[in-house]
Structure 1
Amino acid sequence: MATDTGTPQRATPAAPAPPPAGPATALLRARPVQAALLTVLLFAVVFGAYAAFGSLPTRTGLDLGLGAQLDRLYAWVVANRNASPLFLYGFNYLSVGLGSAVILIDQGLTLLTWPGVVVLGVFTAWRVAGWRVAAYVAVTFAVFGVLGLWEQAMTTLALITTSVLLALLAGIPLGIAAGRSQRFYRLIRPVLDFMQIMPAFAYLMPALLLFGIGNPSAAVVTTVYAIPPAVRITAMAIRNVDPGAVEATTSLGSTPWQLLTKVQLPLAKRTILLGVNQTIMLAMSMVVIASVIGAGGLGDAIYQALSKANVGQAMEAGLAIVLMAIALDRVTAAAGDGTRTPAIPERLRLPVLGAGVLAAAVAALAARLAGATAWPAGWELSIAGGVNWLNEALQDLVGDATKALAGATLNWVLDPLRAVLTDSPWWLVVIAAFVLGRLFGSWGTALTGGFAILACGLLGAWEFSMDTLSQVLVAALATVVIGFAVGILASRSDTFAALLRPLLDAMQTLPPFVYLIPAVALFGVGRIPALAAAVIYALPPVIRLVDDGIRGCSPSAVEAAVAQGSSRWQLLTKVQLPLARSSLLLAVNQGIMMVLAMVVIGALVGAGALGYGVVFGMAQNLLGLGLTSGLAIVGLGLFLDRVTQGAARQERTAHA
């Protein structure tokens, strides 16, 4: 009950409301109007330059000649690789060390013999993930041998092991530092963002320049490509440790080292192991692509088969890579989850581990005594002939339809769009990029997008860049349409979502290289199979994000709409899609970035453009062409990422 003190209380005056914006002010604040005014201003600048100098730069004049400078740099590196201290006491030592590490692990697997590898691999899978995963690992090893790909599989496994160990040695300490220091995390976050938007092909040329062709370059590229998830997930795991546990440990006088080793790392172990899983999967993707720079292994088997359009041989190596990727994913995911690990009493864990190692050693020794160190040739079986026969039969059945679809897409969609982009004045395309950045983001987004597109011309890769951009836009549109439709269906049917989930899980574990095989089987070589592979590769994250976004809508808003008599279509279009807009924009961003990565890889099957510049540059020792094409890929990735991220950020700000 309130008590009246008899003292009058003076009311606090309310803050004056801001004056309402007039029609002119409101109009000027509208983003489309700002973009239109900005376009007029930029056109005025361009034509002012035309009036002052009498002409505008052509696309040829836009080239700064960086490619020729890089060719001279490559010639200097080749001439001085064994004379310059930079290489004698730096990169050459590192190259020898990395190459030796890969060779050492590969020789260790060879020394263990195939029976020893199988026993050790199956035992490890059982100890970490249980009998089901162990049986799957045994089948995977059997497929390697039966298809005659045992040595290539062990080379790939050795390279992955080396790269993942290096990535974790660098990434986990950096992640711990980032998790314990917000300032350090803000410092390295832009670097991690930049690394994650770079398509895989963009990493190849710098490694080739510094380390040459072979396993050292492949190990460096794979390591660098796989580091970001190790850093990010470790940092997130450390930051998400229960603050109460941290405060209690600190209040008891623990040192920072004790706090880290006794509290933070044990509590963050499960999430850090998730980071290990993601690091392995990224390394698996990159080590296949690194076959272009001499990595060898299963990736090289696919690369050689695709270059000859031999679908059967490519399918054999692709099957082996798929099984290896799924096996590595299942084992490392189970290690992080911990629920499928066999329950063994603690007093028996060390004896069980010793028994497993002893069994592998006995199997290896028995194989050596029996002279069966290599997989028996009589146990090999090739399926290439059968696959090629099926491919020919499929072409007879649907070849006319796929040719008609490919021709229509090329003649009516892809070629006209490419002509518009490549034939338009460079400054007009740059202005369009600038305006799109302002419409979907901030002034910083506009400047970044405009400069990223301008950089493609300054690098001398304008035509290639516009060709790649046309392919990305077409494939991204198809990805968004199909992904949104399937995601919406999954969000409205639990049964369909449950049936779809294992398929999406399997698709997301596959290296991107593998998607080219069925695309080539259906469409042959060229730009169309690259686009088809890009669409399929990018669909899983788009479908998941759309499904999660719609399912995450406020139940009260959905119930209110249903109570007012909304139909299912009205509920979807008027309530669920608007509420899920942030997730939908993120789906568009992820789909576009994955399409870009796959379209570039499509150069291996005749897609041309920037990917062709990288591949041809590496094949012909043309560093200038390869590196400028790689940098232009980064420019396109930066433009596409910033514009789509800007739209998502704008949406989050509007709802904040």
Structure 2
Amino acid sequence: MSATSARPAPAPAPPAAAPPAKAAGPSGAAALARSRPVQALAVAAVLLAGFAAARVLGPSAWLGPFPDTAGQWLIARLDGVYAWIVANRNTSPLFLYGFNYVSVGLGSAVVLVNQALTFLAWPGVVVLGTLATWRAAGWRTVPVVLAAFAVFGLAGLWAEAMTTLALIITSVLIALVAGVPLGILAGRSDGFDRLMRPVLDFMQIMPAFAYLMPMVLLFGIGNPAAAVATAVYAIPPAVRITALAIRGVDAGAVEATTSLGSTPWQLLTKVQLPLARRTILLGVNQTIMLAVSMVVIASVIGAGGLGDAIYQALSKVNVGQAVEAGLAIVLLAIALDRVTGAAGNGEGTGTAPGRRRLLVPAAGLAAVAAATAAAHALDATAWPDGWSVTVAAPVNAANDAVQAAIGGATAASGDLLLQWVLNPLSAVLTGSPWWLVVLAAAGFGAVFAGWRAAVASGAAIAATGLLGVWDNSMDTLSQVLVAAAVTIAIGVLIGILAARSDVLAAVLRPVLDAMQTLPPFVYLIPAVALFGIGRVPALAAAVIFALPPVIRLVNDGIRGVPAGAVEAAVSQGSTGAQLLTKVRLPLARSSLLLAVNQGIMMVLAMVVMGALVGAGSLGYDVVFGLKQNQLGLGLTSGLAIVCLGLALDRVTQGRRSHG
């Protein structure tokens, strides 16, 4: 970016020379853009030719899959590391005076928060939540919080909800305690910002599943590992948005404060943090939402709570119970999102004047204490069983009716997808010579994003073979490519329609907001209800999960095209189709590329999670390694997921800066 912007500065060319240079740039870029599909098809054709040659010539060392010698050696070494850790966890100084202390501290923190919520009893929690919401976000948000509490109790999931809430509170506090100071440093230091940027990029590329195995290795199964995994997963937005907030403080205010002799600490606490408060609260909101998503996934490593309720229901294909637990986690996510969002917008009650400044909090604490005391006195600390209403039976009956009505059609469509699209693509990737697949990955990287992306994507794909999970990596890649193609096709179409219709955009906005609030785990429930267990429901869930950002980015990109360019095209007699294909889409190319990138990365995260409903491949290897204490298989599979994410990210980032 800096190099590109620096080029025109030293060249005061005469005005007559400027127009040809301007005209040459776009035409060259357009020719390059037109040639990329042809080049990509050429790379795909070479890969298909290699696959055909391997089928005709038969298996051989140079035409077969990736040799697993290095992978098996690595898996064996990692299993040995795990065996050593198990044998020395209570004797090695590394654990005895390090990770074990952290594990005990985190486990105790989660337990203490959970015990505090249990001691308050459900009336005390409801009163505390209501008053805290009123103070932080105003009365408009209170009904959402009360609705969440009502669902927790009526669904018989109060205890599970409090467990999940305790883990979220602990994890978010850890993420903010670590993330906000790092964000402040990054906002005040260009060098530290450059140091943190690739780390945060890497962390945000990693699918959530990839965080689980390293945490289990260090902290064991249970709340400590879940808390650390959740906190680490949720840190990036806290760092990024805090740094952005600090850098966005008005330079005049900073200069004025500095000129008056303020110390750096005074500048930070009296100017930068107060002026950046609203943006920092947005970072808190994003941190909480990521924590909600990860806490549900962390049920795989013993986090318990609502995530475990969904996981157990899905494993038994009990759609009714899964819907109950899913509704609870959805309302929890919506409530937390609304409270933190409203607080960031300053919709709370603010600070009372004079003596009321202490009177209002004191009255609130008294109300919480009274509700808690009454609950203990009446022995009503737990939600009354008689107040529970289960919808599992009617939901299961409705699901059976839907299956009877359209089950044949969904099964047939799923079989067609497997037989004619997914299985052939998987066969090509797993049956082609491994070195040709690596070269094809590098070729696609070179076509779409340049030679650096070619090296990175080729090396990342080769790394999946060195990790010993080549076949499952290629099968996962095939699932991601199929789901991503469907996602991008639907998302781009809907995004274009939304950009051309203000009414459709207004209708879609709250729907997309709600979809992006939902934890990804929840998307598996309707997919299982429609398609049962297997790879198809995982792909369906991935498509729906990844659609919102694609639609938003396409819509925003097209709407952001300069009005002057559109008016010039219209004045020259362009039709609606020409205006779209020749002006709007080319000028929105940067947003379209970002939409493709975000769609594919979200599809990868969801496809891997689909292992919980029978999708198999790398996600299953991670879950199997966690359940069977096979660290080598689980960790290498998690690393392979990261490698796939890195390869897909590099290829789909494109040359956005070169329009």
Structure 1 residue 239 corresponds to structure 2 residue 247: yes
2:491 alignment partner, one of 470, 483, 502 = 483
SS in 1 for 2:276: helix
2:417 alignment partner, one of 383, 390, 409 = 409
SS in 1 for 2:379: coil
1:346 alignment partner, one of 335, 338, 353 = 353
1:517 alignment partner, one of 505, 510, 525 = 525
- Output the amino acid matched with 1:130: G
Contact persistence 2:185–2:192 (CA under 8 A): yes
Q: Shift of the alpha carbon at 1:177?
A: 0.2
Equivalent position of 2:224 in the other structure: 216
Decide whether aligned partners of structure 1 residues 379 and 182 sit closer, same or farther in structure 2, where only a CA change above 3 A counts. same
Alignment of 1:253-652 (within 5 A): 253-338=261-346, 340-342=347-349, 345-347=352-354, 348-645=356-653, 647=654, 650-652=655-657
Equivalent position of 1:51 in the other structure: none
2:155 alignment partner, one of 136, 147, 153 = 147
Give distance in 2, aligned partners of 1:344 and 1:233.
Answer: 26
Equivalent position of 1:59 in the other structure: 65
Give distance in 1, aligned partners of 2:547 and 2:511.
Answer: 11
1:115 alignment partner, one of 118, 123, 127 = 123
SS in 1 for 2:255: helix
With 127-136 and 636-645 compared, the bigger mean Cα shift is at 127-136
Which segments of 5 or more consecutive residues in structure 1 lack a partner in the other structure?
A: 1-11, 21-25, 43-53
Q: Shift of the alpha carbon at 1:83?
A: 1.2
Decide whether aligned partners of structure 1 residues 87 and 275 sit closer, same or farther in structure 2, where only a CA change above 3 A counts. same
Equivalent position of 1:71 in the other structure: 79
Q: Shift of the alpha carbon at 1:567?
A: 2.0
- Output the amino acid matched with 2:582: K
Contact persistence 1:35–1:438 (CA under 8 A): no
Equivalent position of 1:195 in the other structure: 203
Contact persistence 1:200–1:597 (CA under 8 A): yes
Q: Shift of the alpha carbon at 1:496?
A: 1.0
Identity %: 70
- Output the amino acid matched with 2:547: L
Q: Shift of the alpha carbon at 1:653?
A: 2.3
Decide whether aligned partners of structure 1 residues 57 and 523 sit closer, same or farther in structure 2, where only a CA change above 3 A counts. closer
Give distance in 2, aligned partners of 1:341 and 1:176.
Answer: 25
Give distance in 2, aligned partners of 1:38 and 1:399.
Answer: 39
Decide whether aligned partners of structure 1 residues 92 and 343 sit closer, same or farther in structure 2, where only a CA change above 3 A counts. closer
Decide whether aligned partners of structure 1 residues 498 and 14 sit closer, same or farther in structure 2, where only a CA change above 3 A counts. closer
Contact persistence 2:483–2:603 (CA under 8 A): yes
- Output the amino acid matched with 1:652: S
SS in 2 for 1:61: coil
Cα distance per residue 1:465-509 (max 9 Å; x no partner): 000000000000000011011111111111111111111001001
Q: Shift of the alpha carbon at 1:616?
A: 0.6
- Output the amino acid matched with 2:573: G
Decide whether aligned partners of structure 1 residues 459 and 344 sit closer, same or farther in structure 2, where only a CA change above 3 A counts. closer
Give distance in 2, aligned partners of 1:384 and 1:524.
Answer: 17
User: How large is the RMSD of aligned CA atoms in angstroms?
Assistant: 2.6
Structure 1 residue 100 corresponds to structure 2 residue 105: no
SS in 1 for 2:376: helix
Equivalent position of 2:186 in the other structure: 178
Cα distance per residue 1:66-111 (max 9 Å; x no partner): 1111111111111111111111111111100000000000000011
Give distance in 1, aligned partners of 2:14 and 2:563.
Answer: 36
Give distance in 2, aligned partners of 1:606 and 1:419.
Answer: 19
Give distance in 2, aligned partners of 1:416 and 1:121.
Answer: 53
With 341-350 and 534-543 compared, the bigger mean Cα shift is at 341-350
Structure 1 residue 653 corresponds to structure 2 residue 655: no
Decide whether aligned partners of structure 1 residues 555 and 165 sit closer, same or farther in structure 2, where only a CA change above 3 A counts. same
- Output the amino acid matched with 2:65: R
- Output the amino acid matched with 1:376: P
Cα distance per residue 1:175-220 (max 9 Å; x no partner): 0000000000101111100000000000000011111110000001
Equivalent position of 2:3 in the other structure: none
Contact persistence 1:176–1:238 (CA under 8 A): yes
Decide whether aligned partners of structure 1 residues 307 and 37 sit closer, same or farther in structure 2, where only a CA change above 3 A counts. closer
Give distance in 2, aligned partners of 1:454 and 1:137.
Answer: 49
Give distance in 2, aligned partners of 1:150 and 1:174.
Answer: 36
Give distance in 2, aligned partners of 1:63 and 1:455.
Answer: 13
Q: Shift of the alpha carbon at 1:269?
A: 0.3
Contact persistence 2:43–2:440 (CA under 8 A): no
Give distance in 1, aligned partners of 2:513 and 2:357.
Answer: 32
Q: Shift of the alpha carbon at 1:139?
A: 1.5
Q: Shift of the alpha carbon at 1:63?
A: 4.0
Give distance in 1, aligned partners of 2:175 and 2:364.
Answer: 28
Equivalent position of 2:6 in the other structure: none
Decide whether aligned partners of structure 1 residues 425 and 390 sit closer, same or farther in structure 2, where only a CA change above 3 A counts. same
SS in 2 for 1:59: coil
With 433-442 and 341-350 compared, the bigger mean Cα shift is at 341-350
- Output the amino acid matched with 2:658: T
Give distance in 1, aligned partners of 2:384 and 2:348.
Answer: 33
Cα distance per residue 1:227-286 (max 9 Å; x no partner): 000000000000010001111111111110011001000000000000000000000000
Q: Shift of the alpha carbon at 1:572?
A: 1.1
Decide whether aligned partners of structure 1 residues 36 and 407 sit closer, same or farther in structure 2, where only a CA change above 3 A counts. closer
Contact persistence 2:64–2:432 (CA under 8 A): no
Give distance in 2, aligned partners of 1:569 and 1:183.
Answer: 47
Contact persistence 1:63–1:459 (CA under 8 A): no
Decide whether aligned partners of structure 1 residues 269 and 566 sit closer, same or farther in structure 2, where only a CA change above 3 A counts. same
SS in 2 for 1:261: helix
Cα distance per residue 1:552-577 (max 9 Å; x no partner): 00101111222222222221111111
Q: Shift of the alpha carbon at 1:35?
A: 9.6
Give distance in 1, aligned partners of 2:547 and 2:539.
Answer: 12
Give distance in 2, aligned partners of 1:139 and 1:38.
Answer: 54
SS in 2 for 1:346: coil
SS in 2 for 1:213: coil
Give distance in 2, aligned partners of 1:430 and 1:246.
Answer: 51
Cα distance per residue 1:490-544 (max 9 Å; x no partner): 1111111111111100100110000000000000000000000000000000000
Q: Shift of the alpha carbon at 1:154?
A: 0.1
Give distance in 2, aligned partners of 1:442 and 1:490.
Answer: 32
Contact persistence 1:102–1:159 (CA under 8 A): yes
- Output the amino acid matched with 2:280: I
Equivalent position of 1:49 in the other structure: none
Give distance in 1, aligned partners of 2:450 and 2:479.
Answer: 26
- Output the amino acid matched with 2:401: A
